[in-house]
Amino acid sequence: MQATRVLRALGPIDARSVQRDPLLRWTILLPLLLALAARWLLPVLVARLGVLSGADLLQYYPPLMSVALLLLPPLLVGMVVGFLLLDQRDDQTLLALQVTPLPLGAYLAYRIAVPLLLSVLVSVAVLPLAGLAGTGPLPLLAAALAGAPLAPIAALFLAAFAGNKVQGFALTKVSGVLLMPPLVAYFVDSQWQLAFGVLPTYWPARTLWAAQAGEPGLWLYLVVGLGYQAVLLALLLRRVGRVVRG
Tens-binned pLDDT, residue by residue, of the chain (246 aa): 456 766 676 777 777 777 777 777 777 788 989 999 999 999 999 989 988 888 888 899 999 999 999 999 999 999 888 888 888 777 766 665 666 666 777 778 888 888 899 999 999 999 999 999 888 999 999 999 999 999 999 999 998 888 888 888 888 888 778 788 898 999 987 778 888 999 999 999 999 999 999 988 899 999 999 999 999 999 998 888 777 666
Q: What would the pLDDT profile of 52-62 be if each residue is shown by its tens digit?
A: 888 888 899 99
How many Cβ atoms are within 10 Å of 11's Cβ, its own excluded?
12
Identify the CA nearest to 183 among candidates 79, 82, 97, 67: 67
Cα 196 to its chain centre, rounded Å, is 17
Q: What would the pLDDT profile of 12-54 be if each residue is shown by its tens digit?
A: 777 777 777 777 777 778 898 999 999 999 999 998 998 888 8
Instruction: Report residue 207: phi and psi, to 5°.
Output: -65, -45
- Max CA distance (Å), the chain: 66
Identify the CA nearest to 228 among candidates 205, 199, 195: 199
Q: How many residues does the chain have?
A: 246
> In angstroms, rounded to a whole number, what is the distance separating the alpha carbons of residues 126 and 69?
7
- Can you give the residue ranges of every domain in the chain? 2-245
Whether 215 and 208 have beta carbons less than 8 Å apart is answered as no
Half-sphere exposure (Cβ direction) of 205: Cα atoms closer than 13 Å: 28
